[in-house]
Amino acid sequence: MARLAILVVLLAASSALSAAQKASPKPAAKAAPGPASSGGGAADAAPPTDINKALKDEQFSEFKQLLHDTRVDTQINAQLTDSYNGLTIVAPTNAAFDKMKAGVLNGLSPQEQIQMVLYCVLPRFYSLSMLGTLNGKVTTQGSGHDGPYKYDIERSGNNINVSTGVNWMLLGSPVSKDFPLAIYPVDKVPLPYELFGPKPPTPAPAPAPAPAKSKTKKKKKSAGIAEPPTADDDTSTSDNQKAAAAPGAGGVATRWVVAALSVGAAVLGGGLF
């Protein structure tokens, strides 16, 4: 009987404990950690892989339009998505395009416009400190018959000077500095030397070759047939005539011979009669 009473008490205590647990409020679920805020939200924290979004500032509107017209923006975005080296863009501002002479861009062929835009793209990521260590020629993605177009980059105090051989410019503060895309604004449009440098002079045409001289073939003399006198024969005859007519030892000898023949003929004639 005592054991039954203890069992009843235990069952009652268990029921009371269960009811108390159901009645107590459940603890709030732990909130999932959100993305770290870095001034611009999660979108800014993502690696830059869209050149058009990276050039969102209105001062690059003309350059963005040129990227779109030449479809170089599509090529750049593909490289940013699938590249281990990254890219560096030298981005001319609207003020840079305003400084260009009218008609310069329209004077280029579509292919030359593409190469001019690619001239603004370096085929790897360069931070500002990395650019400061460069001193000399740096290859771009623009190219022509003689190979890739190049910049001459060197440090000038605290600035980075970029020369094309036609014009030069200083790099501004980067508007994108996270791998894989670095973008530096410039206040001049980079002009490739291969497209805008002085053209070599056109070589003078080679002189026409002199006409070949035709050789006169001499006819073979046939046996027994007299040949008409040639110019050499005429000259020889004329020289003989001049020699005979000229006074001198030859003329005196001739007169003596004629006189001797006359005397001989007279003697013979006298002997006969």
Q: Look at residue 136 and tell me if it is in a domain.
A: yes
The domain spanning residue 73 has which CATH number?
2.30.180.10
Q: Look at residue 90 and tell me if it is in a domain.
A: yes
Cβ neighbors of 181 (< 8 A, separation 6 or more) are 47, 48, 49, 51, 54, 80, 86, 87, 88, 89, 125
* Beta strands 87-92 and 181-186, pairing class: parallel
Q: From CA 120, how far away is CA 62, in angstroms rounded?
A: 14
Smallest Cα–Cα separation from 66: which of 112, 99, 101? Answer: 112
Q: Look at residue 253 and tell me if it is in a domain.
A: no
Tens of pLDDT along 111-168? 999 999 999 999 999 999 999 898 889 999 999 998 999 999 999 888 999 999 999 9
Once rounded to an integer, what is the mean pLDDT over residues 217-229? Answer: 55
The more confidently predicted of residues 237 and 82 is 82
Tokens coding 127: 């931070």
Q: From CA 248, how far away is CA 255, in angstroms rounded?
A: 11
79 pLDDT higher than 80: yes
Once rounded to an integer, what is the mean pLDDT over residues 191-211? Answer: 81
Q: Look at residue 84 and tell me if it is in a domain.
A: yes
Q: Given CA atoms 18, 19, 25, 26 in this order, what sign does their dihedral have?
A: positive
Once rounded to an integer, what is the mean pLDDT over residues 32-54? Answer: 62
Q: Look at residue 156 and tell me if it is in a domain.
A: yes
Tokens coding 194: 């291969």
Residue 147's domain comprises 51-186
Tally of domains within the chain = 1
Q: How confident is the model at residue 221 (pLDDT cuts 50, 70, 90)?
A: low
Q: Look at residue 236 and tell me if it is in a domain.
A: no
259 pLDDT higher than 50: yes
Indicate left, alpha or beta for 95 from its phi (over 0: left) and psi (-120 to 50: alpha). Answer: alpha
In our burial notation (b when 16+ CB lie closer than 10 A, e otherwise), range 20-51 reads: eeeeeeeeeeeeeeeeeeeeeeeeeeeebbeb
Q: Look at residue 22 and tell me if it is in a domain.
A: no
The more confidently predicted of residues 114 and 207 is 114
Whose structure tokens read 């647990």?
A: 21
Q: From CA 56, how far away is CA 46, in angstroms rounded?
A: 15
Q: Look at residue 6 and tell me if it is in a domain.
A: no
Amino acid at 185: P
